[in-house]
Structure 1
Amino acid sequence: MESRLAQLSALSQKDKLTAYQSVLVDTLTSPDPTRVHADLHTLVENVIQESVGLVISRQILTDLVLGLQRGAIADSQLKKSIVQDILEIIQPRLVSYEEQVNSLRFQLADILEAEEEWSTAARVLMGISLDSSQRVMSDEDKLRIYVRIVRLLLEDEDSVQAETYYTRAALLTHSTTDKETLLQFKLCQARISDYSRKFLEAASRYHELSWIAEIDEDERRHMLSAAVTCAVLAPAGPNRSRVLGSLCRDERTAELPTFTILAKMFHDRILRPAEVHEFEGTLKPHQLARLSQSSNDRLASAIADDDDDDVADGATNTSTRTGPATVLDRAVLEHNLLASSKIYNNITFRGLGTLLDLTPGAAENMARKMIEQGRLKGSIDQVERLITFQVDGEEDDAQGKAGGLGDVEQTEEDTGAPFTKRWDQQIRLTAANVESIVQHLTEKGLVQLAPTQA
């Protein structure tokens, strides 16, 4: 190869291009694959010399790039090593060959992605010059590159760096109408929210994507499952309840293995440790991240509860936990606290701590935070060491109407016990609603009542 290239130096500039192209074709079609890498290395080193000329060297490198792209080298490992070697040779004169380098980087990224070397492939794409002096790259092409980098980084759970390129991509979404690119961007949106622990936002985005017909059925099922997982991990409160309701109304969720815990959360039922442990096995590593407590939270959670009345009532608490340990743990504790507010009118710090397996101070601290953030309605009496839950009257008011037939008169009777009173009221409302429906159907002639027999 060296002797053949030495002969080309004596040729005129007009004949050099044809001669170098002939050498390139012979090298790429060589029957001996063991010599291809070494010969291409020698050829590229020779062709980028100033004596050859920039016009000729660019053309030869362009032909080489096209040859590799069309499959002139069948062995992926050999092609990978050749591309890496060429990029290393050209690196000192990168400015002169930006277009050829960009094409080689795309090919190398394809090989690395096929080998599931996600982060390495992303770094290769990061090295692409998007503002080339040789060819202006459109905003749409830049968007595709950014979205691909984000997707590759997320495969290796590098959410921090992925968010940087996601921000750049977000500024260019207006530049394309390509459905595939926009769908990939929306999926990256959902995954970024997931990794950033914005679970409520992620659940909504995943659920939205699960309805898009252009996406493969298995992928849509996977997105629906991810939506359920994120909804379960989201902070307890009215916003999460709306997302849970939307997922429960989706008939497809009944086929998912996580439907049981979804339904229990939607219906405000307390979750048991066995159910939580089973659900934990379906989570990804970032969804099991451990939480650290602030010094103020540790101090508040460690306050001892010396209320003798609680002990006398049998509400003993032996837990030493001062707060949730993981993201899932926090979601479950907050849900169980919200569910307990549907069961009890009030509860002591010690009693809530026993229910949640927390110290009384930690239970109070969690309730206080949820009340402050508007996710729990209630008040705290620190003198009596008591949490009083506020009953939302909207649900009871809605039950006083039967299919739009008007208000049903409600009379309250003091039975002495709050739960007995609530139960009796529900029975009265149900009976009144049924009677109103039957009366309305009878007036319309849709139902005929059979005469009673003595």
Structure 2
Amino acid sequence: MDRKLAQFSSLSQKDKGPAFISLIPEILARSDPSAVLADLHILVDTVVNQDNIGLVVGRQVLSELVKILGEGTIKDINLCKRVVEDTLATVQPRIVSYEEQVNTLRFQLADLLEEEEEWSDAARVLMGISLDSGQRTTGDGDKLRVYVRIVRLLLEDEDSIQAETYYNRAALLVHSASDRETLLQFKLCQARISDYGRKFLEAASRYHELSYVGEIDEEERRHMLLAAVTCAVLAPAGPNRSRVLASLYRDERTADLPTYNILSKMFLDHILRSTEIKEFEKTLKPHQLAKLAISSNDRLASAGGDDGPGNTNEPAASTRTGPSTVLDRAVMEHNLLASSKIYNNITFRGLGALLDLTPGAAETMARKMIEQGRLKGSIDQVDKLIWFDGNREEDDAQGKAGGLGDVEEAEDTGAPFTKRWDTQIRLTAANVESIVEHLTEKGLVQLIPTVA
């Protein structure tokens, strides 16, 4: 090999390129992988790092090698990966002169690593690609594809911190993208970033939206629908979550999901039991079981919320001072909201027994939900009672979702069931009006004017 390289180096410049290129098939035809790797290293080092060869010849030979590697000529995946890695290491000192070839090699190496499910390694290889250089201009569409792929790979290894950095870069370019596949991948990354960032309501909405896209495989759509239900369950209890739960509950596809039972109970404001929670917990991913830290103020309030002896008929108080996981918090807040549909009022100790919290911790959770507008009620700290607002609409979320704004409260006739029925009729009419307006805006329905 050394003799041939020395001989070809003495040829004229126009003959050097074809002569060196002719060595590539000859080297790849050898049966010994070690010999193939060693000889290709010598060839690349000669044409790239020796000044007497010339930049033009070096680019010709390296481009041909990159082309052959991309065609899958080397069937041994491990050998192919070692060749690409060695070539990149050899060219590294002259990377500015061979930027295009190096970028192509990095894409090839990322493909090989992704096939072996080495997600983080593949992402790091793509991070090394030069997208902003003075020698070549990369279009926004190509940059977006690279950034979205990096985000997707990092999320496979649950590296959401670094993934969010590249997601933010992609978000700056997505407005100029026209590739449908890339846009769908970006939206999926968007949903997963929200999921990892514990923005569960936003994630549930995006997952549910993607589950309707026909271009996505049916099994993947089912997986997204399942993810939407999971995120909706984990979201903070309140009117906004009620909207998402209602949308998912009315989706006929959710009836076939293993999490349908807990979805229906949450939508119908039923109190969840520990056995149901344990079954659901088995379906969660590690980041959805993240531990929660209790602030010092909350810990102090939780410890000092029950000074009196309490009612002797009430159960003994728990010793827990707050939820320990994201799921724990979601379930406690849901059960608190569900209890507001059942009781007019409840003592701190009674609510604590229901939520498996100390009376002070139960009061703290109720206070936060009332402050955030997710629970309607008031707290009487003298009598240690939480009063729930019984004059509210049955579903505050639906009451404002009909497109007509707030529905005025009907006159109190003293008949609560009649009032509830009238309220449901008004809410249904408001929702129908909203649907008609939406269809009209989309041009799907044309209203025929009446003739006098």
Q: Could you say whether these structures have the same fold, taking a TM-score greater than 0.5 normalized by the shorter chain as the test?
A: yes
The answer to whether 1:267 aligns with 2:268 is yes
Other-structure match for 2:192? 191
In structure 2, C-alpha distance between the alignment counterparts of 1:274 and 1:85, rounded to whole Å: 55
Q: Secondary structure at the match of 1:347?
A: strand
Listed one character per residue, the Cα deviations across residues 283-306 of structure 1 (whole Å, up to 9, x for unaligned) are 000000000011111111111513
In structure 1, C-alpha distance between the alignment counterparts of 2:89 and 2:9, rounded to whole Å: 24
* Residues 345, 386 of structure 2: 8 Å contact kept: yes
Other-structure match for 1:395? 394
The one-letter amino acid of 1:326's match is: T
Identical positions, percent: 70
Deviation at 1:385, TM superposition (A): 1.0
Other-structure match for 1:42? 42
In structure 2, C-alpha distance between the alignment counterparts of 1:147 and 1:330, rounded to whole Å: 32
* Residues 315, 351 of structure 1: 8 Å contact kept: yes
In structure 1, C-alpha distance between the alignment counterparts of 2:2 and 2:134, rounded to whole Å: 33
In structure 2, C-alpha distance between the alignment counterparts of 1:301 and 1:412, rounded to whole Å: 39
Deviation at 1:318, TM superposition (A): 3.1
Other-structure match for 1:239? 240
The one-letter amino acid of 1:275's match is: E
* Residues 150, 188 of structure 1: 8 Å contact kept: yes
In structure 1, C-alpha distance between the alignment counterparts of 2:421 and 2:289, rounded to whole Å: 45
In structure 2, C-alpha distance between the alignment counterparts of 1:160 and 1:108, rounded to whole Å: 24
Deviation at 1:17, TM superposition (A): 1.3
In structure 1, C-alpha distance between the alignment counterparts of 2:177 and 2:184, rounded to whole Å: 11
* Residues 305, 363 of structure 2: 8 Å contact kept: no
Deviation at 1:13, TM superposition (A): 1.3
In structure 1, C-alpha distance between the alignment counterparts of 2:209 and 2:268, rounded to whole Å: 23
Listed one character per residue, the Cα deviations across residues 140-180 of structure 1 (whole Å, up to 9, x for unaligned) are 00000000000000000000000000000001112221110
Deviation at 1:368, TM superposition (A): 0.5
In structure 1, C-alpha distance between the alignment counterparts of 2:420 and 2:326, rounded to whole Å: 43
The answer to whether 1:286 aligns with 2:326 is no
In structure 2, C-alpha distance between the alignment counterparts of 1:342 and 1:124, rounded to whole Å: 55
Distance 1:162 1:280, change over 3 A: same
In structure 2, C-alpha distance between the alignment counterparts of 1:94 and 1:293, rounded to whole Å: 51
The one-letter amino acid of 1:350's match is: R
Q: How does 1:314-325 map to 2 (within 5 A)?
A: 314-325=313-324
* Residues 410, 429 of structure 1: 8 Å contact kept: no
* Residues 337, 375 of structure 2: 8 Å contact kept: yes
- Deviating more after overlay: 321-330 vs 24-33: 24-33
- Report the TM-score when normalising by structure 2: 0.87
* Residues 305, 361 of structure 2: 8 Å contact kept: no
* Residues 376, 389 of structure 2: 8 Å contact kept: yes
* Residues 99, 134 of structure 1: 8 Å contact kept: no
Q: Secondary structure at the match of 2:387?
A: strand
In structure 1, C-alpha distance between the alignment counterparts of 2:242 and 2:211, rounded to whole Å: 19
In structure 2, C-alpha distance between the alignment counterparts of 1:290 and 1:384, rounded to whole Å: 33
Deviation at 1:393, TM superposition (A): 3.5
Deviation at 1:24, TM superposition (A): 2.0
Q: Secondary structure at the match of 1:370?
A: helix
In structure 1, C-alpha distance between the alignment counterparts of 2:267 and 2:21, rounded to whole Å: 69
The one-letter amino acid of 1:169's match is: A
Other-structure match for 2:441? none
Listed one character per residue, the Cα deviations across residues 297-345 of structure 1 (whole Å, up to 9, x for unaligned) are 111111151323x233x11333100000000000000000000001111
In structure 2, C-alpha distance between the alignment counterparts of 1:97 and 1:37, rounded to whole Å: 20
The answer to whether 1:136 aligns with 2:137 is yes
The one-letter amino acid of 1:50's match is: D
* Residues 204, 228 of structure 2: 8 Å contact kept: yes
* Residues 66, 101 of structure 2: 8 Å contact kept: yes
Other-structure match for 2:446? none
* Residues 346, 389 of structure 1: 8 Å contact kept: yes
Distance 1:191 1:428, change over 3 A: closer
Distance 1:411 1:392, change over 3 A: closer
Distance 1:427 1:237, change over 3 A: closer
The answer to whether 1:4 aligns with 2:4 is yes
In structure 1, C-alpha distance between the alignment counterparts of 2:133 and 2:79, rounded to whole Å: 28
- Deviating more after overlay: 337-346 vs 390-399: 390-399
Other-structure match for 1:381? 380
Distance 1:11 1:231, change over 3 A: same
Q: How does 1:249-260 map to 2 (within 5 A)?
A: 249-260=250-261
In structure 1, C-alpha distance between the alignment counterparts of 2:419 and 2:177, rounded to whole Å: 59
In structure 2, C-alpha distance between the alignment counterparts of 1:94 and 1:154, rounded to whole Å: 29
Larger radius of gyration: 1
Q: How does 1:34-433 map to 2 (within 5 A)?
A: 34-48=34-48, 49-308=50-309, 310-312=310-312, 314-395=313-394, 411-412=413-414, 422=416, 425=417
Deviation at 1:392, TM superposition (A): 4.2
Distance 1:293 1:408, change over 3 A: closer
The one-letter amino acid of 2:143's match is: K
Question: Which ranges in structure 2 are unaligned for 5 or more consecutive residues?
Answer: 400-408, 426-452
The one-letter amino acid of 1:412's match is: G
* Residues 377, 386 of structure 2: 8 Å contact kept: yes
- Report the TM-score when normalising by structure 1: 0.87
Deviation at 1:384, TM superposition (A): 1.2
Q: Secondary structure at the match of 1:96?
A: coil
- Deviating more after overlay: 19-28 vs 73-82: 19-28
Distance 1:98 1:380, change over 3 A: same
Q: Secondary structure at the match of 1:292?
A: coil
Deviation at 1:137, TM superposition (A): 1.0
Number of residues paired by the alignment?
412
